[in-house]
Chains A and B, each alone.
Chain A
Amino acid sequence: MMKPMEKVLNFLKSITGRGAEGRLSFTAMFARFRQVLDNHNRAAEIIADMGDKLGGEYIFDINYIKSAYAELHRRLSVSLSDFDVLTRHRYARIGEVFDRIDGEIRRLVYDEGAASGDLVVFYGDITWSMAREVGGKNANLADLKNNLHVNVPDAFAVTTHAFDAFMKQNGIDAKIAALAPDKGIGEKELREIRDAIDAGALPPALENALSSALAKIGTGCGRDCFIAVRSSAEDEDGRHSFAGQFETVLNVPLDLGKVGAAYKKVIAGLFSDKACAYLLQSGYHIGNMKMAAACVLMVDAEASGVVYSTDPGGSGDTLMINATWGLGRSVVEGQTDADFYSVKKGSGAEIAETRIGQKASLITGRKSGGTSTVPTSADRKAKEALTKTQILELSERALQIEKYFRQPQDIEWAVDGAGKLFILQSRPLRARDEQGPAAGPAPGAPDSKILMRARGFAVQKGSGAGRAFVLKNRNDLDGFPKGAVLIARNDSSDFIRVMPYAAAIITDIGTPTSHMASLCREFRVPAIVNAGNASGILKHGQEITVNIDDENSVTVYEGIARGILEHAGRKTSVSMEDIYEFRKKRYVLRFISPLNLIDPLLDNFSPEGCKTMHDILRFIHEKSVVELVESARYGLKGHAAVKLDLPIPAGIMAVDIGGGLDAAAGRKGKDGTLAFEHILSIPLKAVLKGMMHPGVWHSEAVSLRAQDFLSSMMRMPDIASANDDFVEHNVAIVSREYMHLSLRFGYHFNMLDCYCSENTRDNHIYFRFTGGATDMTKRSRRIQLIAIILKEYGFNIRVKGDLIIGRLSNIRQDDMEATLDRIGRLIGYTRQLDALLHDDNRVEQYARNFLQEDYTL
């Protein structure tokens, strides 16, 4: 007889589709989940399409961006609203984050007014999406500090918002607006602007912000310290270097008046005659560009100088270093005969050439501020400013930065009295091949043997060469050598860890809208997915050259084919970056495409961690799956369960929520059970096939030792209370593509939630295993064994004591089915295995046996 409370609950559920806790009925939940997925997929396609169309191979206009973004926005809005219902408003913050990012995008797309941002930002708080407001130099340095963890001195940016505020307060913006660029801007007008800046007063808010920043940087410094105030214009150190066009004021004391004066000098530099000439030549309009400033703590430099991560005069395999005593300005401005080193690139870098300069004078910081040039002491003149160890450290750092920015860099550096290396600036180095003529047809590679040629989805076209790194096990990624070509069976967003160092990536299986694919586009790593059997054909460690072309095909040559690499360096898409309008319009992708939320197990996997539309998409997807998994446990009431008639005593009851079972009249056996052939659910069929695989299911009981038995008795109440409704049964909730399987065998629980359809992006497997009859040590060993096997299958796993959670997503249906078959075998195989795991050695042994399809116990 139904209890009154239960009646009320059922009634509520019947009219609202919800339980008393506000939880949707499982069917309603599942329908929402499907809607989230549908919109999610369409949004992912739009993001991929925008990346493609704005990649330099299409001529596009603002209408395209507007209409594509409108559709993306619509899809995400719908997806978010379904997600909100699905998760019962638990992630309300995601809506705010979405609105904020939307605001940034609208500002760019519709040229809406600049957002009022901070006047001063410390490097630790600079994200790449702030590149325009902090200027190129700040953005590059902060990027190196925050993401590549390069040693950069403490520093803060005075943003373009400060620039706007200063110009407005002093009425200079109006003066600039009144200039008529068509008629040419004369030296007189520019001088007037510079004078007005010099005479201008800092806005009070900027004075306050600067005061606090100076106090903070002074506290961190802990000695008499000085800063360098340097230019950091919006596009500086990007495609156009503006090298030497703007102002730098070195060794400024931490005094508001002095820093304010240096700041004004730096922003006035934007209106110098030479800077304006450069701007015009580069296709900018005077007055359109804004100037931020970099305030960088001075390094008490023992030696300093410049490194070119690729020698522009060499054949591409050497880098060059110039070094001198004291501050590096003398090198930058060519004032001294500095030491010169040519270093061979590649692993085991070696110094190929050394020329010791005379270094007649050096620049030092004065105690009162400013710098002075003094003669170098006789004993130091002919002495090398760097030790061999320092040269190699600097070379390694330069190559790392080149890889990170994906092009040769012009880097300023300094070494302090304690021998510590600091990076002070990094900007693209104009290499020779950029002046080359139009790309002709790809040159043949008569000297190179073709190892493979295959078609797939070109994610990022281009070429790369290096040693093949064939990834067999996800854990091996830690050993990925810099500059290698990554070859893997499946794609994975885990590859982000090696992307800055990878010459190219090829996967046998994968989709062009995967997270990895978008990361490759963001990092411009040549990559192709779904390219057949590369991991089988290519040998680990062999030198190869990869060329991914316009026709979605990949050719892999034996050895390093220079002709191919040089040709790829002169593609149309590269030179498009020279067009200001192109860069400006393409900039919107920064708020759309990059993926920052990689690993759901990390702390930044939160609404606050979302920086782009792609992040929001990823967040919604991951949390929807988790929600579905949770809800499946509650969703059984009101559905008829059918017992499955299987050749193994697995005792599974199945509940069909749509197309999962063929339970029509006459299908069931006399005892009301349903045979295997009447199961229509793709994932359930696959996993049962595995469980029924010959030799996997051991029906004879493995004997428990007395201690294990005692251990199981102690834990009994805990287990019994975990699933009170269906404690006697194993349950599968299924539709044609979906399965939620909840199993209890003896004392352990195993849960499997998956979606398996033709649409690769929709597919996921969520695996959870916990408990056991034996003591904690043995149970943990079984977990270790499962971890080894799941990792081998490409799962992302988390282990806590005797609990393991594994996730796998974005895999093709046929691979899903094969993986589920193996998981089915694993379920059968590990049922009683803990009792046999007497020592750690057996873990490896049984895991190996299982992977070799030896299922004997």
Chain B
Amino acid sequence: MGKNRIMVIDDEKIVGDMAKMSLEQDGYAVETFLNGETALARLSEQKFDVVVTDLKMKGIDGMEVLRTVKKLYPATRVIMITAFANLDAAIEALRGDVHDFFPKPVKIKELKASIERALEKEKN
């Protein structure tokens, strides 16, 4: 069985770098993207098990990523991360069938646990 694939989208490089470093340690295959456009393009050629996306980004934002994923790749779970100030918007996202959301800074341990739960759900 291949590795589970995780996509991380955030317009700040450090978020992708840190997520990649910690998730790869747990045996996931991780790809990072700095905007929604390139991320969605990649999704059209490669299946990902979980997408972790920032909410507020220029161009295609996290909500649009969520909507697109839910429509085109319903098996893929989406986890939203956002600055505290955007919490209301994140709650809005919850209504859009997001698997989970976290305010930044995100505790790596909690993010990992959430991803594990998402994968469990997918199996079932």
B64: Cβ under 8 A from any A Cβ: no
**Of the 9-residue stretches A52-60, A327-335, A529-537, which lies at the interface with chain B?**
A52-60
B69: Cβ under 8 A from any A Cβ: no
B29: Cβ under 8 A from any A Cβ: no
CB distance from A352 to the nearest CB of B (A): 36
Knowing A572-B22, A581-B13, A585-B14, say if A59 contacts B27 (CB, 8 Å): no
Instruction: List residues of chain A with CB within 8 A of the CB of B106.
Output: 58-60
A476: Cβ under 8 A from any B Cβ: no
Q: Are A63 and B104 neighbours in the complex by a CB distance under 8 Å?
A: yes
A64, A438, A581: the one within 8 Å of B25 (CB):
A438
B60: Cβ under 8 A from any A Cβ: no
Interface residues of A in 56-73 (CB under 8 A from B): 57-64, 67
Q: Are A57 and B14 neighbours in the complex by a CB distance under 8 Å?
A: no
CA distance A67 to B104 in the complex (A): 12
Instruction: List residues of chain A with CB within 8 A of the CB of B21.
Output: 572, 575-576, 578-579
B18, B81, B83, B108: the one within 8 Å of A579 (CB):
B18
Q: Are A59 and B83 neighbours in the complex by a CB distance under 8 Å?
A: no
Instruction: List residues of chain B with CB within 8 A of the CB of A439.
Output: 25
A53, A62, A67, A572: the one within 8 Å of B12 (CB):
A62
Knowing A438-B25, A438-B26, A438-B27, say if A60 contacts B104 (CB, 8 Å): yes
Q: Are A59 and B19 neighbours in the complex by a CB distance under 8 Å?
A: yes
CA distance A550 to B109 in the complex (A): 10
Mask: chain B, 99-124; 1 = CB below 8 Å from A; 0 = not? 00000111111010000000000000
CA distance A216 to B109 in the complex (A): 54
Knowing A576-B18, A581-B13, say if A59 contacts B111 (CB, 8 Å): yes
Instruction: List residues of chain B with CB within 8 A of the CB of A579.
Output: 14, 17-18, 21
Q: Are B25 and A59 neighbours in the complex by a CB distance under 8 Å?
A: no
B15: Cβ under 8 A from any A Cβ: yes
Q: Are A64 and B105 neighbours in the complex by a CB distance under 8 Å?
A: yes
CB distance from B84 to the nearest CB of A (A): 8
Instruction: List residues of chain A with CB within 8 A of the CB of B81.
Output: 59
The residue in chain B whose Cβ has the minimal distance to the Cβ of A586 is B14
A58, A575, A582, A585: the one within 8 Å of B107 (CB):
A58
Main secondary structure of the interface of B (DSSP, over half): helix
CA distance A585 to B26 in the complex (A): 24
Q: Are B13 and A60 neighbours in the complex by a CB distance under 8 Å?
A: no
Instruction: List residues of chain B with CB within 8 A of the CB of A585.
Output: 14
CB distance from B24 to the nearest CB of A (A): 8
CA distance A538 to B10 in the complex (A): 48
Interface residues of B in 70-102 (CB under 8 A from A): 81, 83-85
CA distance A2 to B21 in the complex (A): 77
Q: Are B105 and A582 neighbours in the complex by a CB distance under 8 Å?
A: no
| CB < 8 Å A-B pair total | 70
CA distance A743 to B57 in the complex (A): 66
A59, A63, A67, A580: the one within 8 Å of B108 (CB):
A59
Knowing A579-B17, A579-B21, A582-B18, say if A57 contacts B107 (CB, 8 Å): yes
CA distance A349 to B34 in the complex (A): 53
Q: Are B14 and A581 neighbours in the complex by a CB distance under 8 Å?
A: yes
CA distance A64 to B107 in the complex (A): 13
Instruction: List residues of chain A with CB within 8 A of the CB of B108.
Output: 57-59, 572
CA distance A437 to B22 in the complex (A): 12
Mask: chain B, 1-41; 1 = CB below 8 Å from A; 0 = not? 00000000010111101110110011100000000000000
Instruction: List residues of chain A with CB within 8 A of the CB of B85.
Output: 67
Instruction: List residues of chain B with CB within 8 A of the CB of A576.
Output: 18, 21-22
CA distance A580 to B19 in the complex (A): 14
Interface residues of A in 387-440 (CB under 8 A from B): 437-439
CA distance A60 to B54 in the complex (A): 12
Q: Are B17 and A58 neighbours in the complex by a CB distance under 8 Å?
A: no
Q: Are A61 and B104 neighbours in the complex by a CB distance under 8 Å?
A: yes
Q: Are A61 and B22 neighbours in the complex by a CB distance under 8 Å?
A: no
Knowing A61-B12, A63-B83, say if A581 contacts B109 (CB, 8 Å): no
CA distance A471 to B111 in the complex (A): 41
Q: Are B14 and A61 neighbours in the complex by a CB distance under 8 Å?
A: yes
CA distance A60 to B102 in the complex (A): 11
CB distance from B53 to the nearest CB of A (A): 13
CA distance A439 to B17 in the complex (A): 19
Interface centre among A59, A60, A62, A64 (most CB of B within 10 A): A59
The residue in chain A whose Cβ has the minimal distance to the Cβ of B20 is A579
Interface centre among B10, B14, B84 (most CB of A within 10 A): B14
CA distance A58 to B106 in the complex (A): 5
Instruction: List residues of chain A with CB within 8 A of the CB of B107.
Output: 57-58
Knowing A438-B27, A572-B25, say if A61 contacts B17 (CB, 8 Å): no
17 cross-chain CB contacts under 8 A: A57-B107, A57-B108, A57-B109, A59-B22, A59-B111, A60-B14, A60-B18, A61-B105, A64-B105, A67-B85, A438-B26, A572-B21, A572-B25, A578-B21, A579-B17, A580-B17, A585-B14
**Contact surface of B with A, Cβ cutoff 8 Å:** 10, 12-15, 17-19, 21-22, 25-27, 81, 83-85, 104-109, 111
Closest 3 CB pairs of A and B: A438-B25, A60-B105, A58-B105
Given A59-B19, A60-B104: 13 more A-B contacts, CB < 8 Å: A53-B105, A59-B14, A59-B18, A59-B81, A60-B14, A61-B15, A63-B104, A439-B25, A578-B21, A581-B13, A581-B17, A582-B14, A582-B17
